[in-house]
Structure 1
Amino acid sequence: MFAGEPAYLDGYVPSSWDSPHTSLTKSSLWIGVGLILVSLAGFGTFIYGFAAASDTTSPMADQGHIIGIIGLIVGFVVLFAGFFSVHAARGDYRAYKKATGRVQ
């Protein structure tokens, strides 16, 4: 055993998956993580729109700003929906921390 390594009882295997306060088994957590990743598509559309608008020879030059603004709005809406979903899924863990006085 190394210095600072947590000491557990013999045969005890710490597992986040099986604990009653886990968030890992909640679908809203994984949907939220997926939404956070999907928000990258909106931010990519934002970059594409303004890049197309900056190229005056592009056929998309006239609509580029509109595409960029829509991408930015969609990106932030989906990102905040993902953050909210993850926050809601972790409610049991926050209650567990408060009840037990844990700091992590």
Structure 2
Amino acid sequence: MPLNYSILEQSAEELRETENSPSVSMWPYLVDSDQTELLRTISIYVEKGDTTERARVLYMNAPALEVWKKMNKATGTVGEVHRPPKSALLLFGVPFSE
């Protein structure tokens, strides 16, 4: 079974900057770079973290992670999973499907 989602952690410090939220910054980037068709392939889920160093956990599929990298956002992944946990909420893009 392929690992479809990369896991990224964001600290409380990173969350202070609203542009570090994909739901705030990714759509304007896609519009400005004339890549809105990618919205049909992007899938990002979010889960609340448990420490100040891990205040938010993002689950990004490959197209989402690629866009995030092109946006020069922090892309240090801490793991991969086949699908986001059931407790994670869709933050941006399309839902997971097999």
TM-score by length of 2: 0.21
Q: Which has the higher strand share?
A: 2
Q: Which has the higher helix share?
A: 1
TM-score by length of 1: 0.20
User: Whose radius of gyration is greater, 1 or 2?
Assistant: 1
